Amino acid sequence: MTEILTSAQMRAIEAAAIDSGRVSGLELMERAGRGVADATFATWPELICAPGRAVVLCGPGNNGGDGYVIARLLFERGWDLRLYTLGDPARLPPDAAANAARWQACDIGSTPLDPQTPTALPEADLSIDALFGIGLTRPLPPGVAGLRLPGHRIAVDVPSGRDADAAQDLGPALPADLCVTFHREKPVHEMLKREGVKIVVADIGL
């Protein structure tokens, strides 16, 4: 039987690994980003040799940090990137801030999302939802809930707007075709499978 972890259990495992010195939070974030990129190209192999346009949505926490890693990896593969941010970048957690700085070194820039009014996203082959991770316990702001994601839609850990523990309905959530989670599935992933979302568990070395 597949082991299922709650969001609290997952955070505890990550914290224990970091506290032990076995791995840094920055390294876990890099592995997570690579896991999403690998799962994306395994799902749509036709994209490997035909870089196109990608939209990456980065949130105010460590899920957003994963998004910055993914954006950088796609950029290195020759993709045309459009990156959108939610929240004040100056208030990012340290590991996410480090990856935001690495992205800024690519000299592409980013566009802030209005939490109250949906942004019209450009056409793209891929859209990466790295806005909110497993810790979300409140409804999405209207400007996020109303986003229309273009192309193949990939959620990082869980689609933004879904409760990872499947304990409550938070209201409208962003859609996903592929959801890449880390280490183990969370309770919501079984629900997502029934809705037709492909779930991939990426090994990040925990």
Distance, in Å, from the CA atom of 93 to the CA atom of 88, rounded to the nearest integer, reads 11
Residue 136 annotated as binding? yes
Do residues 58 and 131 lie in contact, with contact meaning Cβ atoms separated by under 8 Å? yes
Residue 169 annotated as binding? no
Residue 134 annotated as binding? yes
Q: Where are the beta strands (DSSP E) in 126-197?
A: 126-130, 152-156, 178-182
Do residues 110 and 116 lie in contact, with contact meaning Cβ atoms separated by under 8 Å? no
Residue 34 annotated as binding? no
Residue 107 annotated as binding? no
Residue 78 annotated as binding? no
Residue 91 annotated as binding? no
CA torsion angle for 88, 94, 98, 103 (degrees, to 10)? -30
Residue 25 annotated as binding? no
Do residues 103 and 135 lie in contact, with contact meaning Cβ atoms separated by under 8 Å? no
Residue 165 annotated as binding? no
Structure tokens at 177: 């075709």
Residue 64 annotated as binding? yes
Q: Is 202 helix (H, G, I), strand (E, B) or coil?
A: strand
Instruction: Identify any residues that bridge with 198 across adjacent strands, giving them in sequence order.
Output: 178
Structure tokens at 138: 């409140």
Residue 157 annotated as binding? yes
Residue 160 annotated as binding? yes
Residue 110 annotated as binding? no
Residue stretches of the annotated binding site: 62-66, 129, 133-139, 157, 160
Residue stretches of the annotated binding site for (6S)-NADPHX: 62-66, 133-139, 157
Residue stretches of the annotated binding site for K(+): 63, 129, 160
